[in-house]
Chain A
């Protein structure tokens, strides 16, 4: 009886059998990697804007306070993007003919709002409240990163659920005193842990229910 298969057939078949075991595991790993990738999270992706607004210039160089533009941030769930008027309070005097500001002037003249592109986007079934985070000692740069050296604004945090949870489970290392909330230069102290604990009690933060679904989803 002649051989049906050549010797190498053995190797091929054995590799194939091995693949049946390996491939699914590898696939899951790959999918997980993709879920963390900027393509999905949008992390560090610079989104183009109608007006190339520079936080680096306004916050870093000029030292404007966050609340000068984001007026609602201490009272409202949303930080609020400023109305055209706010821009014009200065730009009616400065760079009055700057080409890059044309859309702003046009908006004021026509009364048609500027359409900014959202940088930090949460799913619509997630209800985030800026004001309560600020009231409990979470500073702006904790989530928004070093906004003061961003020529164009980008999202520095992955904004995934597990990222949110990491802080809701253990807020201590991320807390700061009220005076430092809007500071872009604040750095955690040496004894971050101890200081954090102290702030936790100062803010009456109880983590037992911070991971309840209803805290963020309704």
Chain B
């Protein structure tokens, strides 16, 4: 009896009093979708306009890229990879966190995931989709990207399966589709709720179609639960393998600074790191914008801050390992590369990266920092910048300063590099803003379940 109360309390810890009833939860979550007149959407429209403009910029730069060719970017004969690859790794990293949260935390029975997993998964979906665009755009002949797939053709040719890019191509495709299913199946009961709450025929029809006729049958709940748990079990290895493969894009080479066994694991942690920071930023936005204070509480921010602290420490450790192996390995080029990273052409980026990724997160040792949303968000954004810088320096240092001394070159991005980067940010924001007004940003049925302490075994 008492133990059940504890569990109930533990569950309720994640929900503010204002949201501690099934009706309240339904009302709070459905409000932005069904009772829009509740509050003014001016901020939303401003944000929408800005992200739409940025999306336009992205569209233009893509069009120009296809017309003029890959040469519009800052790459050169030696540094053949630049922004697009760094952007790709960064976005896919963000794209990892959603599934990590919903899958890993589900398996670990972390109650607090209930109120954030929905929009985290949406974030995953959008980020992964955007990430998928970059490798294609950075091709010399983007329109032939489908040659990476084994399709029947009159040339009797097949993909070259040993290439990490093939692994990538399939890992991402599988991951995006997987996340889509995982996300959608979690949405179905909520869509049914909205179908039944909605007044307008249009809304009821649309929600109705996507709810697939869900009627809360205990049999269905049972099957859904089994599927959900199994998907979680599959999702964790998939997400880990995905970013390991991204790490292999670099590690499966013989270039100094790339050919490192530590890359796959530390790319995964890095992904979680940047992903969580993005979740934090979005959580703050949703909490404030959609009045979700009752469901997304300080507690959530504190626990995620703790995770950042842990990740930051692991990242720092990884960097140290890199430097150590470079020194201990004794390969001249490797050592020279580390020195170059600290003192070479990109030293500013590198130092900034270290500060953002390793130093500032240490603030979370202090509860005050963890419990201040402003602090957590600010640090989160800085860390995300740091993670982008990390990917950038990984690409640039090795390529600029490899073995062939005569071909050492430095890289200078062009306007188009930046347009595409910020354009993609705008596109991401656009998708998320639309998501906020079309679908429930918090999983109602999971929160309800959390509320009904009795329902806990």
Contacts and interface: CB of A to CB of B under 8 A. Distances in A.
A and B touch in their complex, CB below 8 angstroms: yes
Interface of A: 1, 4-5, 10, 13, 28-29, 32, 35-36, 40-41, 158, 160-163, 165
A5 B208 contact: yes
Contact of B152 (A4, A10, A13, A28): A28
A125 to B, nearest CB: 12
A155 to B, nearest CB: 15
Interface of B: 151-157, 195-196, 204-205, 208-209, 212-213
A4 B195 contact: yes
Contacts of A40: 154
A interface majority secondary structure? helix
Given A4-B195, A28-B151, A13 B156 contact: no
B205 A4 contact: yes
A162 B151 contact: no
Contacts of A162: 154-156
A32 B153 contact: yes
Contacts of B209: 13
A52 to B, nearest CB: 31
A161 B155 contact: yes
A36 B154 contact: yes
Given A4-B204, A4-B208, A13-B209, A35 B195 contact: no
B156 A165 contact: yes
Nearest to A169: B156
B176 to A, nearest CB: 15
A158 B208 contact: no
Contacts of A29: 152
Contacts of B153: 32, 35
A165 B157 CA distance: 10
Contacts of A13: 209, 212
Nearest to A17: B212
Nearest to A161: B155
B150 to A, nearest CB: 11
Contacts of B157: 161
Query: 9 closest A-B pairs (Cβ-Cβ)?
Result: A162-B156, A160-B154, A161-B155, A32-B152, A4-B208, A35-B154, A165-B156, A4-B204, A162-B154
B154 A158 contact: yes
Contact of B156 (A4, A32, A161): A161
Contacts of A41: 154
